Amino acid sequence: MKKIVFITGTRADYGKIKSILMKLQENKKFKILLFVTGMHNLKTYGSTCDEIFKDKIKNITRFNNQSKNDGMDTVLSKTINGFKKYVNIKKPDLIIIHGDRVEALACAIVGAINNIKIGHIEGGEISGTIDEVLRHSISKLCNFHFVTNNVAKKRLIQMGEINSNIFTIGSPDVDLILRKDLPSPESAKIRYKIKFSKYAIGIFHPVTNELHNLKKEIKIFVNSIIKSKKNFILIYPNNDTGTNIILDEYKKIKSNTVRIFPSIRFEYYLSLLKNSNFIIGNSSSGIMEAPYYGVPTFDLGNRQLNRVKLNSIINLSFNQKNIEKCINQFSNKKTKFKKTLFFGKGNSSKKFIEILNKKIIWKSNSNKQFNEISI
């Protein structure tokens, strides 16, 4: 029985790997472990580890990797120390990480230095901020790559990764996005005490290499929402450097047309997103999830710069007049774009498990080589 450790540090990356975890823990060929860290363990962000326990995921280990006001570099070092002790005890055969978070980088460093094979989900994506730098750094530390599309695969090949170690499976959260048994919008509203009939969703994260602009940008974001007098569901940002600036601005919102949540359980979030008028902010949810429902996205600033360009995604600078115009235009009635399946058509968890059953994963040497391509 092969022992596989998955890492999760945020509500977002858990949503990505949840379908894989649920199916894999039923498979007798593998023992699945879950290392839970990051914002999952923080009360400020809704203690989302509780949601993982509700899903009856087995073999969970929690590790608190941060204190208040810790910078990303401190979180990185704490996670390295904690995960090193963890793998020394658990001795996994494979580590699976997702995305571009600092926790993922820390665990990839531990795996690479300790000669443990590592798989990376959603490598090869680009955005243009520090997140992209972290994502590419993680990819270079990993042995196997589970990408969402062939464009991402080509980028990894450009980076010197071996073609045979890159597998296109789509984004695993598409398995949940396309589920027909998502909670109804009515049950989602009852669960979270939302009384709006029409509403939009707002998610705004700090851009850590543009913190000098954050105070101005979050004021424009919040003022545009308040001034519109439209109904909004705001969800807390990730716990990156600068998050307190955003939360301080949210505390000033007194409007009864705005509901603010530290977190929303992923299936209920998808139901609310699917039935929203639009999503606004700089979350990857507007790039990856919203287009599957044809929901318009107002993408603000540079956080998702260079991501895929789709008809439903409208890029806006921090011009309050233009933002207010778009909010008012799209709040009056639902506008649905043609649904786009750029990040896969589902069955990602099935494809992932099929790849795990291949000899290449377990027989290959964990030492990496740069694969030269002709220029």
Structure token pair of residue 362: 């377990």
pLDDT reading at 288 higher than 90: yes
Q: Which fold has domain 2-176+345-363?
A: Rossmann fold (3.40.50)
The string of pLDDT tens digits covering residues 295-321 is 999 999 999 988 999 999 999 999 999
The string of pLDDT tens digits covering residues 67-108 is 878 889 999 999 999 999 999 999 999 999 999 999 999 999
Q: Range(s) for CATH 3.40.50.2000 in the chain? A: 2-176+345-363, 185-331
pLDDT reading at 375 higher than 80: no
The string of pLDDT tens digits covering residues 36-50 is 999 999 999 999 999
Side chain identity, residue 305:
L
- C-alpha–C-alpha distance, residues 125 and 120, integer Å: 12
Task: Identify the DSSP state of 182.
Answer: P
- C-alpha–C-alpha distance, residues 133 and 319, integer Å: 27
The string of pLDDT tens digits covering residues 2-12 is 999 999 999 99
CATH of region 185-331: 3.40.50.2000
Structure token pair of residue 357: 């059953």
**Percent of the chain scored above 70 by pLDDT?**
100
pLDDT reading at 357 higher than 80: yes
> What are phi and psi for residue 327, nearest 5 degrees?
-60, -50
Strand, coil or helix: 146: strand
The string of pLDDT tens digits covering residues 103-125 is 999 999 999 999 999 999 999 99
Span 124-142, mean pLDDT? Answer: 93
Nearest CA to 15 out of 355, 277, 270 is that of 270
Side chain identity, residue 301:
G
> How many CB atoms sit inside 10 A of residue 297's CB?
26
Span 192-217, mean pLDDT? Answer: 96
User: What is the overall mean pLDDT for the chain?
Assistant: 95
Span 53-58, mean pLDDT? Answer: 94
Give me the numbers of helices (H) and strands (E) for the chain, helices first please.
16, 13
